[in-house]
Structure 1
Amino acid sequence: MSNSVPNEVSVNINGAEVRAIAGEMLIAAADRAGVHIPRFCYHERMSSVGMCRMCLVDVDTGRGPMLQPSCMVPVTEGMSVDTQSEDTKRAQEGILEFLLVNHPLDCPVCDKGGECPLQDQTMAYGPGESRFVEEKRHYEKPIPISDLVHLDRERCILCDRCTRFADEVAGDPLIHFTERGNSTQVLTFPDEPFSSYFSGNTVQICPVGALTAAPYRFKARPWDLDQVESTCTTCSMGCRTAVQSSRNELVRYLGVDIESVNHGWLCDKGRFNFEATNSEERLTVPLIRDPNDERQLLGSDWGSALANAAEAILDAGSDGIGIIGGSRLTNEDAYAWSKLARSIIRTDNLDAQLGDGLPAELVHSLPPATIADACEADTVLVVGPDLKEELAILHLRLRGAATKGHTKVVEINAAPSGCEPYVERAIRCGSGEAAKYLGEILNSDDDLATRLREGSVVAVVGRSSMAESDHSSIAVAALIRDELPHATFLTALRRGNVRGALDMGLAPGVLPGRTAIDNPSSALADIWGYTPSMKGLDTTGMLQAAAEGKIRTLVLLGADPLSDFPDRNLAAEAIQRAETVISLDNFLTASSAQADIILPTTAYGEQGGTTTNLEGRISRLTQKITPPGSVRDDWMIATELAWRLGGDLNLTSKEQIWREIEQVAPSHAGVTVERIMSEEAREGILVQESSVEYIFPSVQEPPIADGYGLRLISGRKLWDASTTTSMSPSLRPLAEAPVLKVHPTDLQRLGISSGSDVRVISTRSTENLKAVADESLERGTALLPFNQPGFGANRFIDATAAVTDIRIETL
C-alpha cells in the first residue's frame, strides 16, 4: 500500500528516500529532511536567484550526475541527489576560494565575526588555503547608507539578499547593484539613502559583515551575548524576537521566524528601541511632589510613596478615581490592576485605550480573523490607519500576499498611505465618511461589490484619523457585519498589549475573559468577591469628569494623555484639576512629569509574562536583564496597594496570576501555564472565543465642512515623539518636525505659498506651523502627523466632536 499523499514526490538524497512537496526547491526539501546544503544567497522567505553557487549538488539527470544549484532546481519524482560527492566538494571549495579572493578577512574587527556563515562554511567546506597573492579590492569603508545601517563594500559577496529584501519584501528598492564585472558593488544612489522602515532586516540576513547596524556596531561579540526569545510589544502585531544582552545591558534584537506572525522580519522601531530600556533617563526610585514647592519632585522610598498613593485612592472613593492606560503592561499586570480596581477599589472607571481605539465590546464581538486568514483571503478591506506607519509588519505581510498571491487589497482612507503601491484600489473619502463610501460601493454594480459579496473577505478596521471620533469606525464595522456576514475582522489597535489589556478587563463594562460586567463567571465571582454592576467611564469620560472635579484621583498606567490622547486641552485640564495624579512609568513623560506620585516600573526586557496581539494570540515575554534601581513590576505595585487599602489580591507571582486567569476568564480556559511554556507557544496560542455582545449605536454623518475651513486628518508616524523613539539615541533623529500638508488649490485660494509659515486655528488652539502643498490630498483637507517632536496635533482636536475642522491664514 502506498504512503504517498497528493502533491508529494519521492526524492533520494544521499541514499535515503525523502518525501518532498512537488515543485518545491531541492534545498528546501533537504532542509526539512535534516540534510544541510551550504548557501549564501538562498533565503526561504525570498525568491531564489542562484547567485552564489555555494549550494551546488550532484543531481542525476538520467545521463549521469550533473552539478546543479539546489536553490534553483525543483524536486521531481524519483530525483536522485548526492550532496557529498567529490565533485560537489570540489565545487564548494572552488566557490569559497573565489569568494575569498577579495574578501578582506578582517574578522577580528567585524561585527559578524563569530556568527558569520562565510567563516563557518569556509571552515566546513573550504580549501584550507588560498592561491591568491595579488592585491585585494579596496573601497572607502564604512559608508553610512542610512542613519541606522553602515555598508562595507569590501566584505560584500554579492549574494543579492539585501537588494532582494528591499525590493521584494519591503517594497523599498533603495539599495542596488552598481557597476559591472569585478567592479560590481552594492550601493545606494547619492540622492536616495536607504531610508526604509525595515532596513535592519538586511543587516540580520546579510551572510557576511557587509551591512552592520549602527546601534550594535562594536558593542559585543556573539560569544559574549546571552539570548532569550520574547515577543515585541512596540505595536500590537506581537512579532517574535530574540533579545540579546551583554553585562546586563540590552544590545540587540533579532527577528525570529514564525509562520503565524512576522516571518522573521522586524520594523526598525521594534528592532532598535532597546536603547530606551538602557537609557540613563529611566526612573529608578519613586518620586513625590514636594509639598513645599510644587515645581519639585523628591526621591522617596516605596513605603512612603505607596502610602501616599493609597491615601489618595481612599480619599477619592470608588466614584472619584479613574485608571487610564495599561497597554504597556503584561497580561498578568493588567489582570492584577483589573482585579484591584473592581474588587478592592470597587470602580469600573478604567480604560487601557487613550481615546484612539475602538470600544472593547466591539473588539470582542466582531468575528475574528488571523493574519494568515488575511493573507489568504480573496479581498482584504483596509479601513483604518496607515498600516506602514502603525502596524508595519502587517503591512509587509499584506504586501507579500498582494504581490505574490491572489489577495486583492482595497483601502478606504481620507489620506494617502504607505499601502497604496500594492493595493488594487485606493478609495479616497472625506474624514469620517468611510462608511458612506463603502455603502455606495456595496449598493452599486461595481465589480468590487461582487467580489466582496461572493469571495472571502477580511476587514482591517481601526481609527484612520486621530482627528475623528470612533463613530466612523463603528459605522464601518456595522456596515460590513450587516452587508458582508461572511467577513471576518482584524482590529487595527494602537500600542503593544492593548488587546491583552482589554482581555484582562482593563476597559469599562468588560471583565477578564471577554465577558460583560453584568455576567461574571462563577469562578470570578467566587475569587474576586465583588464586581461593580454598572459600566464605568472610558478615558474620554474620565478626563471630562476630572476636568469637572468629579474624579479626584487619576492613575496613569504607563499612559501619557498629554501626548497620546487626541485632545491635549482636555487632558491638561483633567490633570490640573485632579487632586492627585499617580503615574506608573519608566520615564518622566509630559504627563508623569506633572504627577504627584510617580512609581517606577520595569520595562521591556526586564519583565516576564505574556502578551496578546491583535489577533488574540497569546505569546511569552521573557525577562532578560535585571531592572535598575528599585523599580517594580506593575502587578507587585497593585498587590501592595491592595494591602494598604485593606484588601488582598492573593497574587504572588506571574505564574500564579496566570493560573488564576485560567480559572476566572472563560475565553482563556485551557490555556495553562504548561501550554504557555511549551514549544506550541512559540507560534502563539490563539484565543478567539468571546461572549460579549455589542449593540451598535446609531451614528450620524459628520457635519459638512464650511467653505472656509479645512478638515483635519491626523495619523501617527513610525518615527514620532513617542517615549521609545525619543529615548533611543539612534532613533530620535529620525522623527521629523511637523508640517501641515494641504492641497495646492486650497493654498492658492487662501493666498499662501508652499513652505511658508501659517497660523492654524481650531476651536481648541491657535498655533504657528509650516504649510506645504501636497497634490495627493483631497481638496478641503489638511494632513498633520499626530505626535512629532515639539508639537502634537492633539492641540487642535476636540475629543467630543465627530471631526475637527481648522482654518489657516498667513502670518
Structure 2
Amino acid sequence: MSEQDVTEVTVTVNGTEIEAQSGEMLIAAADRAGVHIPRFCYHERMSSVGMCRMCLVDVDTGRGPMLQPSCMVPVSEGMIVDTESDDTKRAQEGILEFLLVNHPLDCPVCDKGGECPLQDQTLAYGPGESRFIEEKRHYEKPIPISDLVHLDRERCILCDRCTRFADEIAGDPLIQFTERGNSTQVLTFPDEPFSSYFSGNTVQICPVGALTAAPYRFKARPWDLEENESTCTTCSMGCRISVQSSRNELVRYLGVDVESVNHGWLCDKGRFNFEAVNSDERLTSPFVRDPDNQRQLLGTDWGSALASSAEAIRRAGPQKVGIIGGSRLTNEDAYAWSKFARSVIGTDNVDAQLGDGLPAELVLGLPPATIADACEADTVLVIGPDLKEELAILHLRLRGAATKGRTQVVQIGAATTGSDSYAQRSIRCQTGEAAKTLSELLSSDDPLAKQLSDGSVVVILGRSSVAESVDPAVATAAVIQAELPHATFLVAVRRGNVRGALDMGLAPGFLPGRTRISNPSASLTEKWKQIPEKSGLGTSEMLQAAAAGQIETLILLGADPLSDFPDRNLAADAIQKTKTVIAIDNFATSSVAQADIVLPATAYGEQSGTTTNIEGRISRVAQKITSPGSTRDDWMIATELAWRLGGDLELTSKEDIWREIEQVAPSHAGITLERVQSSEMFEGILVQQSSIDLALPVPKDTPVADGYGLRLISGRKLWDAATTTEQSPSLRHLAESPSIKVHPNDLQRLGIPSGTEVRVISTRATENLTVTADDNVQRGTAILPFNQPGVGANRFIDATAVINDIRIETL
C-alpha cells in the first residue's frame, strides 16, 4: 500500500477512541495504542495466519459484537472493539485449555521457563485448573534438527512462527508441518537438516520452548541473567542485540527489533559466536619473544612489554612503522590509534582494511544510501560479494523488500549467489568485467537500461572476489558515476567496524571526520599539533615494503594477515623480514604466533563505546562483563605507548575521546556525547555525508585469459575458519572442507573426474585439493572459498595482480 493510499480511521477499543491506519491489523493498532491483546502465532514482521486464536476479541462493525481474531481483522472506521468482554475471556480460557491438553509440564527443565508466553498467558488468562485426564501425546525428545537447534515436538503448540520465518523471511523452507489432526507436528524433511544461516531466529520467536539453541541449553534461567543492549560487530551491518550474561560469562545474544537495521533478526554467526569471548584460549597477559629461543614467547609484565614496544617504534622512525588493522576496535579506540600514529609516531602508514576491502576514497566519498533507501529504491544494483554469505542480514532485508514488490534487485557478477532466488535479473559476466558488462547494458535498448536511468537506484558495491584487485570495483564505480549520476551507494565492506575505523582516520591519506590529510580542520591541527604532510601506505603496500626490508616495526591491531590478507605468501614474507612485530589481539592467531611482542586486548562485551555500520550509522557497544587477566582496552594501550614515546594523547576515558571526536571530526560535528548516551541511539545516528572531493584512482585493465588456466573466484562464506568461529565450540565444525568447484565441461575438457584430488597451480603456490563439478560455476572459472579450514585460497593469490589464474592437473 502506497503512502497516499493510507488514511487514518477511528476505532474504539475498550471504550477509548484510538487512531489507526486503514488496512492495518487490529492487533497492531491496539499495540500502538498500548492495549495488549494476548497472542502466540502473531508476529509483527511476518504475515498473519490466525493459527492460535488466542487473540480473539469482540468486534462490532455495526452488526453486533462477534469474536474475531484480531491478527486477521483490518481496522475500519467506527469499529468497536472489546478485548475484555466476558465472551473474550471465555474464549481465551478455552484456547489455553486446548493448548495445554498435550503440552508437557516441562517448565522446571525447559529453557523457556521464566520467559515463556504460554506460562505468562496461562497465569493471566487461563483457567484455574485442567479438566484433561487422558494420556498426553509423546515423542522422542529432543531431536537435533541442525547443529544449533533442538526440537521438542511435545511442547509445540503449532503456532506456525518457525515455519513462516523459514519460508517468508529466510527463504529456507526446511521446517514444515507434517501429519494431520492430533498427530500434526513440526519436522524437517527426511535426511535434510535445518541448515539455515538464520535458524537461531526460530528459537527466539518460538513462544513455548519447542525449539531451543544448543549453545544456550541448560546454561541459565532468565532471572539469573543480566543484560545490556548493544550492537553486533560480527560484520558491518550493525545489528542491535541484547547481550546477556551470567556469573561474568556471556551466555546469549538476542536480536532487538530496530526498524532502521535488522528488524530483530540475526544471522547464526552473530548470534552464537559469543562463545569465543568465554574461550579458555584468550590472551590474558603480555608476551615477548625469548631472545635465547626465537621459537618461544615468554610471559612478561605490561611495563616491560610496553617499554619494548616503544623502543621498537622509536628505533624504526616514523617512515618505517606500519599499523595494520583496527576494524575490531570501537570508534573511540580507532580514534586514539589514529591520533597516536600521526601526532606521536609521525606516520601515515595506517590501514584498517586487510587488502580485501575497497579504497577509502570509495567508502567515504561515494554518495551514500541507507539500508532503508535500498529497500525502497526502484532498483537495487548488486555488484559485489554474495550478501547471504558476507552481509547476511542485508540479504534478508533486500529479500523481504524484493519479495513484497517494494524494490527490484539486479545482480551483476561472475558467480551465482544467494541473491539469485529473488533477483529480477542476474547477469553473468566474466571475472573482473562487471564495469564493461554494465556499460554495455546501459548503452543497449534493454528495458532494464531505461529502468536504471529513469528510476531511483541504490548500488551495493564491493569486492566479488578477493582474488581480484580493487581495480574492477573502481572501474564499476566510475561507470556508475558517469552514466547513473543519480545513483547512491551502500559500499559492501564486511568487517565489523571498518566504516567507523575509516571515519576515525585509520586509512592512508585520511583524517578523522572524512577529511584528507592535506586539508585538516583547524580544531584537529590544534589538538594533534603534528600531522604528516604526505599520504602513507595501505596494507598491501606496507606488506610489500616490509618484505623489501623498508618497514622495521609492524603493529597489528586485531589483524591476522597470515589468515585474512589475500596473499599469504606476501604476508608471511613481510612478517618474517620485519624486525619487530607488535600484535594487539584477543587470541593467539597465526600472525600473533609470529609476533615479537604480544599485548592482550579486551574483547567484545568487555568494553563500551560506539561502532559505525555499513551505512554510516553510529550505535552503542555495551560492556557486560569484566575482561580476564590483565587485558586492556586498545585506547589505553595507545595512550601508554604515547607517554613512553614522550607524547600525550590527552585522552582519559571513552567519554573524553568522544568529546574530542565531536570537536575535530567535521562529519561528526553535532553528535555530542549527550546524544550518544541518549535514547536516540536505539535507532542509531547517521553521520553526515562526506564533503571530500571524490577522485577515483585510475583502474588497471583486466588481462585477457590465457585459454589454458581458470580464473580464480574466492569469496567468503559465513562459516569459515575465522578466529571467533574457531574459538566457538558450537560453530567451529560448520565450515566446509576445502574443495575447488569447476564447471563439468571444464573438467571434461581437462579429463578430470569430479571428486578426485588434483594439483592446483598458481604463480604463488602448488597444493593438492579435491575438485568438484558444479553446473552453477561459469565456464573458465574456478571457485575456492576464502579462509576455509585446510588449504586456504590465499596461498594461491598474488595481491599485486588484477586477476588471478590457476591451473589444475591430475596427480
Amino acid at match of 2:190: P
Amino acid at match of 1:641: L
TM superposition score normalised by structure 2: 0.99
Secondary structure in 1 matching 2:294: coil
Q: How many angstroms does 1:363 deviate by?
A: 1.2
* 2: CA distance, partners of 1:795 / 1:785: 12
* 2: CA distance, partners of 1:558 / 1:752: 41
- Matching residue of 2:137: 137
* 2: CA distance, partners of 1:406 / 1:42: 23
Task: Kindly report which structure 2 residues correspond to 1:88-167, keeping only aligned pairs within 5 A, or say none.
Answer: 88-167=88-167
May I ask how many residue pairs the two structures share in their alignment? 808
Deviations for 1:558-586, whole angstroms, at most 9, x for unmatched residues? 00001010100000000000000000000
Q: How many angstroms does 1:773 deviate by?
A: 0.3
Change (3 A) 1:731 1:5: closer
1:307 paired with 2:307, answer yes
Secondary structure in 1 matching 2:92: helix
Q: How many angstroms does 1:697 deviate by?
A: 2.8
- Matching residue of 2:685: 685
Secondary structure in 1 matching 2:373: helix
- Matching residue of 2:557: 557
1:470 paired with 2:470, answer yes
1:13 paired with 2:4, answer no
Moved more, 414-423 or 683-692: 683-692
- Matching residue of 1:255: 255
- Matching residue of 1:26: 26
* 1: CA distance, partners of 2:438 / 2:524: 41
* 2: CA distance, partners of 1:26 / 1:483: 47
Q: How many angstroms does 1:707 deviate by?
A: 1.3
- Matching residue of 1:545: 545
* 2: CA distance, partners of 1:428 / 1:359: 25
* 1: CA distance, partners of 2:200 / 2:245: 18
* 2: CA distance, partners of 1:270 / 1:264: 12
Secondary structure in 2 matching 1:439: helix
* 2: CA distance, partners of 1:105 / 1:53: 22
Checking the alignment, whether the CA contact within 8 Å between 2:458 and 2:487 is kept in structure 1 is: yes
- Matching residue of 1:605: 605
Change (3 A) 1:278 1:791: same
Amino acid at match of 1:658: W
Identity between Structure 1 and Structure 2 (%): 79
- Matching residue of 2:722: 722
Q: How many angstroms does 1:301 deviate by?
A: 0.3
Amino acid at match of 2:170: A
- Matching residue of 1:749: 749
Checking the alignment, whether the CA contact within 8 Å between 1:714 and 1:785 is kept in structure 2 is: yes
Q: How many angstroms does 1:704 deviate by?
A: 1.1
- Matching residue of 2:675: 675
Amino acid at match of 2:113: G
Secondary structure in 1 matching 2:250: strand
Secondary structure in 1 matching 2:158: coil
Amino acid at match of 2:282: R
- Matching residue of 1:631: 631
Amino acid at match of 1:137: R
Q: How many angstroms does 1:406 deviate by?
A: 2.8
Amino acid at match of 1:186: V
- Matching residue of 2:282: 282
User: Unmatched 5+ residue regions in structure 2?
Assistant: none
Secondary structure in 2 matching 1:734: coil
Checking the alignment, whether the CA contact within 8 Å between 2:361 and 2:696 is kept in structure 1 is: no
* 2: CA distance, partners of 1:13 / 1:738: 60
Amino acid at match of 2:334: A
Amino acid at match of 2:384: G
Q: How many angstroms does 1:808 deviate by?
A: 0.3
Secondary structure in 1 matching 2:419: coil
1:697 paired with 2:700, answer no
- Matching residue of 1:711: 711
- Matching residue of 2:188: 188
Amino acid at match of 1:578: T
* 2: CA distance, partners of 1:575 / 1:697: 28
* 2: CA distance, partners of 1:428 / 1:254: 38
- Matching residue of 2:355: 355
Secondary structure in 1 matching 2:418: coil
1:35 paired with 2:51, answer no
Task: Kindly report which structure 2 residues correspond to 1:167-246, keeping only aligned pairs within 5 A, or say none.
Answer: 167-246=167-246
Secondary structure in 2 matching 1:449: helix
Amino acid at match of 1:251: V
* 1: CA distance, partners of 2:63 / 2:256: 42
Deviations for 1:619-638, whole angstroms, at most 9, x for unmatched residues? 00000000000000000000
Deviations for 1:520-560, whole angstroms, at most 9, x for unmatched residues? 01000001001011000000000000000000010000000
Q: How many angstroms does 1:5 deviate by?
A: 12
Deviations for 1:195-240, whole angstroms, at most 9, x for unmatched residues? 0000000000000010000000000000000000000000000000
Deviations for 1:578-613, whole angstroms, at most 9, x for unmatched residues? 000000000000111100000000111001000000
Checking the alignment, whether the CA contact within 8 Å between 1:237 and 1:613 is kept in structure 2 is: yes
Task: Kindly report which structure 2 residues correspond to 1:448-459, keeping only aligned pairs within 5 A, or say none.
Answer: 448-459=448-459
Amino acid at match of 2:336: A
* 2: CA distance, partners of 1:202 / 1:431: 37
Amino acid at match of 2:39: R
Amino acid at match of 1:147: D
- Matching residue of 2:519: 519
Q: How many angstroms does 1:128 deviate by?
A: 1.1
* 2: CA distance, partners of 1:406 / 1:588: 46
Deviations for 1:335-360, whole angstroms, at most 9, x for unmatched residues? 00000000000000000001111111
Secondary structure in 1 matching 2:554: strand
Task: Kindly report which structure 2 residues correspond to 1:618-657, keeping only aligned pairs within 5 A, or say none.
Answer: 618-657=618-657
Q: How many angstroms does 1:37 deviate by?
A: 0.1
Deviations for 1:62-92, whole angstroms, at most 9, x for unmatched residues? 2210000000000000100000000000000
- Matching residue of 1:786: 786
* 2: CA distance, partners of 1:129 / 1:476: 68
Task: Kindly report which structure 2 residues correspond to 1:410-429, keeping only aligned pairs within 5 A, or say none.
Answer: 410-429=410-429
* 1: CA distance, partners of 2:460 / 2:484: 14
* 2: CA distance, partners of 1:483 / 1:8: 42
Deviations for 1:491-531, whole angstroms, at most 9, x for unmatched residues? 00021000000000000000000000010010000010010
* 2: CA distance, partners of 1:335 / 1:181: 62
Amino acid at match of 2:100: L
* 2: CA distance, partners of 1:318 / 1:700: 31
- Matching residue of 1:797: 797
- Matching residue of 1:764: 764
Q: How many angstroms does 1:105 deviate by?
A: 1.6
Amino acid at match of 1:141: K
* 2: CA distance, partners of 1:471 / 1:758: 31
Checking the alignment, whether the CA contact within 8 Å between 2:360 and 2:507 is kept in structure 1 is: yes
- Matching residue of 1:82: 82
Q: How many angstroms does 1:288 deviate by?
A: 0.6
* 2: CA distance, partners of 1:61 / 1:367: 50
Q: How many angstroms does 1:6 deviate by?
A: 6.2
* 2: CA distance, partners of 1:164 / 1:747: 40
Deviations for 1:702-735, whole angstroms, at most 9, x for unmatched residues? 1111111000000000000000100000000101
* 2: CA distance, partners of 1:694 / 1:562: 32
Checking the alignment, whether the CA contact within 8 Å between 1:368 and 1:688 is kept in structure 2 is: no
Secondary structure in 2 matching 1:495: coil
TM superposition score normalised by structure 1: 0.99
Q: After TM superposition, what 4+ stretches of structure 1 lie above 3 angstroms from structure 2?
A: none
* 1: CA distance, partners of 2:451 / 2:221: 53
Change (3 A) 1:413 1:298: same
* 2: CA distance, partners of 1:429 / 1:436: 9
Deviations for 1:242-285, whole angstroms, at most 9, x for unmatched residues? 00000000000000000000000000000000000000000000
- Matching residue of 1:405: 405
* RMSD over equivalenced CA pairs, Å: 0.9
Checking the alignment, whether the CA contact within 8 Å between 1:356 and 1:494 is kept in structure 2 is: no
Amino acid at match of 1:665: A
Secondary structure in 2 matching 1:294: strand
Checking the alignment, whether the CA contact within 8 Å between 2:56 and 2:70 is kept in structure 1 is: yes
Amino acid at match of 1:505: G
- Matching residue of 1:498: 498
- Matching residue of 1:334: 334
Amino acid at match of 1:245: S
- Matching residue of 1:392: 392
Amino acid at match of 1:60: D
